[in-house]
Chain A
Amino acid sequence: MTVKEARELFPELSRKIYGKQLVYFDNAASSLRPSPVVQRYSGLASYSTSNIHRAVHMIAGEATDAYEEARGEVSKFINAGSREEIVFTSGVTMALNLVADCFSRTFIKPGDEIIVTESEHHSNLVPWQVAAERCGATLRFLKVDECGRLQVEDLDELLGERTRLVAVAHISNVLGLVNPVAEIISIAHSKGVPVLVDGAQGIVHEKVDVKDLDCDFYAFSGHKMYAATGTGVLYAKKEWLDKMPPFLYGGEMVGTVTLEKTTFAPLPMKFEAGTQNYTAIPTFKEAIDISKLLKDNELTLYNKATEEYLYDKLTSIDGLRLYGVPRGTEDRKVPVFSFTIEGVHHEDLALILDKMGIAVRSGQMCAEPLMNRYGVTGMLRASLAPYNTMEEAEYFIASLKKAKGMLL
């Protein structure tokens, strides 16, 4: 597949911004939506509006099939043990909150400890802070070094008698380095501690096999991997889903209900109370197809060249500091480039780049502790997808230099 063919799947790429051709470099926040996903969504919104899992009529049946088909597709995509281990949520944030809430209610007692990393997105930090406070537990932190690499060598010492869980991102949304999650999981498991992986970025860039990885929980959003917004997945080993209490209570998550007492539905429905986003969830099927398509060899080689070009050019700009620097071939970096330029405010850069047609992210990137770690108030982040071109990368570098010149 050529990049031109890939681009044809994403109509938004043809947009003009302030009269300039759009260069979309904010893919780590949200990917663009491919036509097959939009068509599926639109078709369901127009012709399959009936609620799922309830009624016996034809329309409800079709909507249910579409929703459950997506569960099967997601389960296969990440190689889950069974469909029961796939819980649909509104996004990765809800999935992480679900685990923080339900796991802590059962397994975390006063004096226990939870390990998170210093480079987590707020979504995988704040729910644990709140859970720890509620349970009388303590958070302990795995730190990153100057280059942004997780100091995994400290994990062994951090893991103690009272550690109940390790929560870690597969790939930091700021640093773009692939964390050694397999190693983390194996170390934690050797001490009987389960591991939750925040896969918001990981699912986009990595081939995820939850069985092989042996993680206890893996959470991700649909909208970063080409599916409709308002979609998310929590994968959890069945044993945990069995042991955890429900997150929300309501319709379709129950077994039998009397006025006094309720039994809960079997998995995964136990965790899917109320009306689900059955218009958006089925688009996981098309999104997974596109994800696989975009991992095409020819396209991947092309993407690699663009990434290397960006890495080289960015790191040779005077005063630019890149966060998340790989150590030779030992670390792998995905095309998420967060940086600061000395004497230039990230917001100013982002505003000027916007006027040049370039969409990038600026600010704290929902990782304030990491900003504090590096002593900055924010960063600029350019994050690429397989449909981004070398020409866009060249234009971005030229525009960045021009913007820097305007501001200094």
Chain B
Amino acid sequence: MSLKEIEENIVEEFSDFDEWLDKYEYIIELGKSLEAFPEDKKTDERLIKGCQSRVWLDYSKKDGKIEFTADSDAIITKGIISLLIRIYSGRTPEEILGSDFSVVERIGLRENLSPTRANGLVSMIDRIREVARQEL
């Protein structure tokens, strides 16, 4: 499936929720099922410091594709991370840089997250972009 197709799938999945709490319940489930990030990898170099929750992002390159792993101490952030990983992990730098990252907005998350939190999310997206640029 292409990056674009996965984005469309996610937008489709989120369009099923009428209630905010249902949407959150789904994100929390995603957060809980995100593969554990080893504690010893939670270093300052991998830390993206938000105002409230902490996010750790790590990556490796295999066959020209970037694999992302990430974690957060907050479960909702973790759920959003899981969505980002689903979209951007295992992609080539070109594919990642070709995305407009509007999916977060399209599933209605950015506008409903507090500004400080949205900033954390923005930092996370910026970091993914930065990694893709480095690995071009």
Which residue numbers of A lie inside 8 Å of B, CB to CB?
A: 18, 345-348, 350-352, 354-356, 362-363, 377-378, 406-407
Contact = CB atoms under 8 A, between A and B. Distances in A.
B75 A355 contact: no
Given A377-B54, A378-B52, A18 B20 contact: yes
18 contacts: A345-B74, A345-B75, A347-B53, A348-B28, A348-B75, A350-B114, A351-B114, A352-B21, A352-B24, A352-B76, A356-B21, A362-B52, A363-B51, A363-B116, A406-B21, A406-B24, A406-B28, A407-B75
A350 B113 CA distance: 11
A391 to B, nearest CB: 20
A128 to B, nearest CB: 24
A125 B113 CA distance: 30
Which of B20, B25, B51, B116 is packed against the most chain A CB atoms within 10 Å?
B20
A345 B25 contact: no
Interface string B45-83: 000000111100000000000000000011111000000
Contacts of A356: 21
Chain A interface helix/strand/loop/mixed: helix
A347 B24 contact: no
A123 B113 CA distance: 27
Contacts of A355: 20-21, 24, 112
A345 B53 contact: yes
B28 A347 contact: no
B117 interface: yes
A351 B76 contact: yes
A351 B20 CA distance: 11
Contacts of A345: 53, 73-75
A356 B22 CA distance: 12
Contacts of B112: 355
A352 B19 CA distance: 12
